[in-house]
């Protein structure tokens, strides 16, 4: 490798100004990492000032599929302190590996790296887990960017990790630079692509490529078509209320894949009672509820959560003024849905003014509006739940997380349809795009949203795709034991080796994820399915064998 290229890739942070100083820092840090007592998780400083890459893919896997900080080799920062991330290879995901490892072999080994974010990835508290994932992702990206200012980023997430990635990408894309022109996380221009598989924050009508010139066909800057120019987006919307929104500066660089029938991203509208159940589930220890069932202890947790939400609802109405609320068209169910959202902020609760053509509340008792209010409650309950019974009757858990990975939550590795102008699966298409971006980064080409891949790029992409696992399959025996109806955000749990490994995957689905129709719904799983799966990966080179318990 030419000396100039060597120093271009092994960049030095601004604080390390002399080669001699860099040598001392590298030697001391490496010595500490190798010899420090009890530091079996030490690894090379691949995310610090001594090792930089042209492009790094930040990977966030699903439930029970993230690196464990106490058992996985972790990356370290410039000071030798562990970061909540592990290199792909030190951690393997049966599901995400085929996407994020696709550029391997298509570019120089030191030009590209994929890292997995360590976060709880569980359902002990869905919101806490996701928020921790968001914080850890931002920390890792900031550390890498500070040490390697020329590094470009892609971000990939699946299932519970998809929720993490959506929130991070929205924050990056909508952040404003400070007075010094610097960004709090990373410069949005340094993020070249975002892949969200099973986007639980998806808005109604969103096509796969949000903000792109052709939202159905391809992200800006990658001229390979995902499917024909005419397409119908998946019905419904994401199951996790309150997480949808625009990506700002990242519009056009987003690939948000959603399969019809995957109720984590295609939940039907008008199932407000299920949405309420899901909002409650996001605040419960679902892992414990799934493991123990409804016991006095878990029942008490449910009662506490419900009581807290009820009190918040009455406080919200009081803040509006009882008279004002009685005159409004808002139902009590509407209030419960608002205050049960974990993102609810009482200080920012909307205040509904009294209607101008009504008698002042101090001149007429709020009880005068009671008959109309009761009518509104009844009508509202019926209208906003017209799809609830069909959803419950359709066995939403099996629909989304069916045995042998037949549920639509696993479609992304098996949804190619050449006869209808879709030659690649969603996972293969994402792998192809990342490979193209990595080759651009290695060549030092500026990020050009009008760039088109060359013929040799397509050949490399196809080779990369064919050399990775496309769709892991399994034989699952599912056994849900709860009946809480919620639309979950299943994730997968896998711990596999790259080639023909034995994988254990576990996850917990939403009690009643909602199927069919259009948007408006719920969040994570609240059921208690348990499954045992054995399978062999289909499609390309690898064939991992899986033992699966549930999925989320």
Name the residue with tokens 């060549």: 443
Per the domain annotation, does 539 fall within a domain?
A: no
Phi/psi at 313 (nearest 5 deg)?
-65, -45
Q: Are residues 140 and 245 in the same domain?
A: yes
Q: Are residues 106 and 211 in the same domain?
A: yes
Q: Are residues 39 and 180 in the same domain?
A: yes
Distance separating alpha carbons of residues 352 and 184, to the nearest angstrom: 35
Residues composing the chain: 552
Phi/psi at 270 (nearest 5 deg)?
60, 50
Q: Is-above-0.95 flag for pTM?
A: no
Residue 85 corresponds to which tokens in the numbers above?
């991330």
pLDDT along the chain (552 residues), means of 10: 45 37 33 36 39 94 90 86 92 95 94 96 90 97 93 97 98 94 94 97 93 92 85 86 90 96 88 79 78 83 88 88 83 86 76 48 60 77 76 77 87 92 94 96 75 56 50 37 39 37 38 39 39 38 39 48
Answer with the one of 432, 466, 500 that is the final residue of a domain. 466
pLDDT for 452 equals: 55
Asked if 548 and 406 touch (Cβ cutoff 8 Å), the reply is no
497: CB partners within 8 A, 6+ apart: 92, 544
Per the domain annotation, does 529 fall within a domain?
A: no
Q: Specify the pairing of strand 254-257 against strand 545-550.
A: unpaired
* Bridge partners, 476 (sequence order): 533
Q: Are residues 190 and 306 in the same domain?
A: no
Per the domain annotation, does 550 fall within a domain?
A: no
Asked if 416 and 89 touch (Cβ cutoff 8 Å), the reply is no
Distance separating alpha carbons of residues 207 and 525, to the nearest angstrom: 25
For 383-421, the three-class secondary structure string (H helix, E strand, C coil) is HCCCCHHHHHHCCHHHHHHCHHHCCHHHHHHCCCEHHHC
Per the domain annotation, does 537 fall within a domain?
A: no
* Bridge partners, 157 (sequence order): 60, 196
Per the domain annotation, does 495 fall within a domain?
A: no
For residue 187, the domain's CATH number is: 3.40.50.1820
Q: Are residues 204 and 302 in the same domain?
A: no
Q: Are residues 324 and 424 in the same domain?
A: no
Q: Are residues 13 and 130 in the same domain?
A: yes
Distance separating alpha carbons of residues 256 and 9, to the nearest angstrom: 31
Q: Are residues 289 and 352 in the same domain?
A: yes
Answer with the one of 403, 434, 466 that is the final residue of a domain. 466
Per the domain annotation, does 480 fall within a domain?
A: no
Burial class (CB in 10 A: 0-12, 13-18, 19+), 150: middle
Answer with the one of 337, 368, 386 that is the final residue of a domain. 386
Per the domain annotation, does 228 fall within a domain?
A: yes
pLDDT for 228 equals: 77
Q: Are residues 256 and 277 in the same domain?
A: no
Distance separating alpha carbons of residues 493 and 507, to the nearest angstrom: 6
Say what angle helices 426-443 and 455-466 make with each other, to 10 degrees. 130
Name the residue with tokens 């399994």: 474
Q: Which residues of 516-527 are buried (b: 16+ CB within 10 A; e: fewer)?
A: bbbbbbbbbbbb
Residue 456 is given by DSSP the state: H
Q: Are residues 32 and 163 in the same domain?
A: yes
Q: Are residues 111 and 205 in the same domain?
A: yes
Distance separating alpha carbons of residues 350 and 355, to the nearest angstrom: 15
Domain with 327, as residue range(s), is: 272-386
Q: Are residues 288 and 149 in the same domain?
A: no
pLDDT for 480 equals: 36
Per the domain annotation, does 493 fall within a domain?
A: no
Distance separating alpha carbons of residues 277 and 264, to the nearest angstrom: 14
pLDDT for 489 equals: 41
pLDDT for 552 equals: 52
What is the count of structural domains for the chain? 2
């Amino acid at each position: 490798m030419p000396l100039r290229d060597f120093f271009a890739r092994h960049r030095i942070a601004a604080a390390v100004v002399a080669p001699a100083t860099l040598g001392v820092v590298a030697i001391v840090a490496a010595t500490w990492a190798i010899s420090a007592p009890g530091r079996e998780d030490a690894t090379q400083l691949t995310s610090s000032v001594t090792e930089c890459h042209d492009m790094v893919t930040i990977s966030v896997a699903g439930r029970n599929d993230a690196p464990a900080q106490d058992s996985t080799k972790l990356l370290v920062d410039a000071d030798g302190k562990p970061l909540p991330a592990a290199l792909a290879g030190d951690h393997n995901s049966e599901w995400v590996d085929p996407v994020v490892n696709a550029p391997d072999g298509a570019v120089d080994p030191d030009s590209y790296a994929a890292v997995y974010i360590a976060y709880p990835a569980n359902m002990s508290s869905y919101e806490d887990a996701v928020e921790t994932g968001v914080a850890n992702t931002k920390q890792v990206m900031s550390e890498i960017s500070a040490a390697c200012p020329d590094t470009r980023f892609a971000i990939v997430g699946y299932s519970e990790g998809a929720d993490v990635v959506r929130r991070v990408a929205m924050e990056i894309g909508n952040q404003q630079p400070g007075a010094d022109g610097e960004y709090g996380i990373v410069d949005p221009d340094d993020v070249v692509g975002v892949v969200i598989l099973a986007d639980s924050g998806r808005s109604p009508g969103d096509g796969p490529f949000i903000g792109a010139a052709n939202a159905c066909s391809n992200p800006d800057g990658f001229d390979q078509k995902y499917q024909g120019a005419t397409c119908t987006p998946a019905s419904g919307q994401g199951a996790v209320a309150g997480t949808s929104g625009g990506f700002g500066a990242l519009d056009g660089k987003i690939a948000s894949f959603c399969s019809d029938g995957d109720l984590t991203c295609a939940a039907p509208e008008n199932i407000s009672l299920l949405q309420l159940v899901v909002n409650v589930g996001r605040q419960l220890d679902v892992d414990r509820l799934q493991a123990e069932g409804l016991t006095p202890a878990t029942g008490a947790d449910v009662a506490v959560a419900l009581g807290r939400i009820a009190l918040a609802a009455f406080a919200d109405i009081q803040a509006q003024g009882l008279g004002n609320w009685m005159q409004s068209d808002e139902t009590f169910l509407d209030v419960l849905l608002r205050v049960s959202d974990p993102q609810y902020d009482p200080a920012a609760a909307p205040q509904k003014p009294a209607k101008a053509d009504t008698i002042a509340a101090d001149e007429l008792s709020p009880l005068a509006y009671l008959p109309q209010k009761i009518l509104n409650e009844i009508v509202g309950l019926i209208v906003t739940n017209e799809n609830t019974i069909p959803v419950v009757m359709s066995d939403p858990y099996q629909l989304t997380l069916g045995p042998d990975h037949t549920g639509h939550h696993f479609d992304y590795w098996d949804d190619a349809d050449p006869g209808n102008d879709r030659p690649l699966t969603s996972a293969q298409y994402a792998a192809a795009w990342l490979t193209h971006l990595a080759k651009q980064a290695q060549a030092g080409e500026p990020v050009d949203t009008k760039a088109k891949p060359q013929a040799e790029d397509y050949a490399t992409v196809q080779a990369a795709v064919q050399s990775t696992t496309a769709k892991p399959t399994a034989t699952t025996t599912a056994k849900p034991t709860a009946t809480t109806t919620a639309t979950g955000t299943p994730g997968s749990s896998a711990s596999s080796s790259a080639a023909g490994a034995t994988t254990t995957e576990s996850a917990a689905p939403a009690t009643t994820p909602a199927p069919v129709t259009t948007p408006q719904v719920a969040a994570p799983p609240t059921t208690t399915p348990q499954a045992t799966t054995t399978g062999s990966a289909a499609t390309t080179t690898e064939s991992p064998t899986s033992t699966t318990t549930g999925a989320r």
